[in-house]
Amino acid sequence: MKIKILVIIIFLANINLSYSSQRKQELAISIDHAMKIASEQSLLMCKTLKDKPGLLPRTIDKNGKLMTSDSRWWCSGFFPGVLWYIYEYSGKNEIKDQAELFTKRVEREKFTTTNHDIGFMIYCSFGNGYRLTGNQDYKNVIETACNSLSTRYNDKIKSIKSWDFIENDWQFPVIIDNMMNLEMLLWGSKQFNNNYFRTIAVNHANTTQKYHFRDDYSCYHLVSYDTLTLKPEFKRTYQGASDSSSWARGQAWALYGYTVMYRETKNLKYLDLARHIAQFIIHNPNLPKDKIPYWDFNAPNIPNEERDASAAAIMASALIELSSYVDKMECREYMNVVETQLSTLCSDEYLANPGTNGNFILKHSVGSKPHQDIAPYFGEVNVPLTYADYYFVEALVKYKKYKSNNALFSQVHKTIH
């Protein structure tokens, strides 16, 4: 009897291994196809914007017409970043030439001191450009940008102020998205031997960890601090379904941000938080089987709510990296989610056909549904978004590296207690 049971176990294990291997082979083919589509779409986008100096892609309007921005919009660095990732994947000089041209369109933002998004603007464009080319001019741009971002730091509150516009009488608003801008400061602290950049990033991450998260490790979108007491005056979910809800992209920003914080500092408290955020996402009862989240985990009309491809892409990119810092069992759990997300995003449901979708790569993202009526330019519901494309191609490149190297950041799997 024991021998029969052992035979059955071995048989089932072999079936699972065979299925897993086949799934990975199919995903590898899908990724190559998706990157081919990404290259075709991006070159078409370059052609469309070639004679429109200073403009960058943003989304499409309700009629399917391309909507652009200049470099001032917070998303301006993403399209150059897409081009750099496609160049990294393909090695095609045609793509590199376009990446250089569109990166140049963002350069003036190195002097920006009026918002926190300079990290998105400069590090996604010039950061990837420097990583792949070693162009010293790019490095100089990043140093200027780090200094500019540092001007928004308040050493009493220990945070970087996100927005300057005033609404609902908030005094010092900090949004979870701001975690994504710390990577540039941490990189800059090492490259320019400037410990102040690191101090800002660490202090901001610590303050956010203390005040943004609920007991279940979901996070508020926005915390505003009283400039006299230095404590939160209120907590809101500005782009989510309600102040008590879990806005999907916000959870993705948090996951990504604290994964980066652990990579750069090796402080285990950041790893612990990233793992808890991952568990909140992965085991959320409202996460669909295909792992593409609704725009808010607590949206009122689930399952009749829009999905957010941008949140899924950010999650996938973050989970690939996070899997390199945990034990094998947890790694397998993360990568199963990643492979499901990427397989779904590479399907016809989300991946655009060449020449369609305003020449964006992914369909079905959500910017800020609560603002779709009062501020349609900001709402952007069920449309392509340039940052969805960025984190999608980033995740595809990361996944290919992960499978080639067995650990993206040359980390060994170890049990974290």
Q: What pLDDT was estimated at residue 352?
A: 98
Is 8 in a helix, a strand, or coil?
helix
Q: What pLDDT was estimated at residue 152?
A: 98
Q: What pLDDT was estimated at residue 410?
A: 42
Is 112 in a helix, a strand, or coil?
coil
Nearest alpha-carbon partner for 337 in 387, 370, 290: 290
Task: Report the DSSP beta bridge partners of residue 365.
Answer: 383
The amino acid that residue 250 corresponds to is: G
Q: Active-site residues: which are they?
A: 117, 177
Cα 144 to Cα 133: distance, rounded to the nearest angstrom: 19
Q: What pLDDT was estimated at residue 326?
A: 97
Cα 197 to Cα 187: distance, rounded to the nearest angstrom: 9
Phi and psi, residue 232, nearest 5°: -60, 135
Angstrom distances, CA of residue 120 to CA of 100, 247, 312, 357, 380: 17, 20, 18, 23, 19
Q: What pLDDT was estimated at residue 23?
A: 75
Q: What pLDDT was estimated at residue 411?
A: 43
8 Å CB contact between 188 and 140? no
Instruction: Report all structural domains of the chain as residue ranges with CATH numbers, in order of start.
Output: 34-405 (1.50.10.10)
Give 124's contacts (C-beta < 8 A, 6+ positions apart). 77, 78, 80, 81, 390
Cα 309 to Cα 248: distance, rounded to the nearest angstrom: 10
pTM exceeds 0.85: yes
Q: What pLDDT was estimated at residue 1?
A: 59
The amino acid that residue 17 corresponds to is: L
8 Å CB contact between 409 and 321? yes
The token pair at 413 is: 């799997």
410 φψ region: left (φ > 0), alpha (ψ -120 to 50), beta (else): left
Q: What pLDDT was estimated at residue 417?
A: 27
Quick one: the chain helix, strand, coil %, rounded to 5?
60, 10, 35
160 φψ region: left (φ > 0), alpha (ψ -120 to 50), beta (else): beta
For the chain (length 417 residues), average pLDDT per consecutive 10?
56 52 85 98 98 97 94 97 98 98 98 96 98 98 98 98 82 97 98 98 98 98 96 95 97 98 98 98 98 98 98 98 97 98 98 98 97 80 98 97 67 35
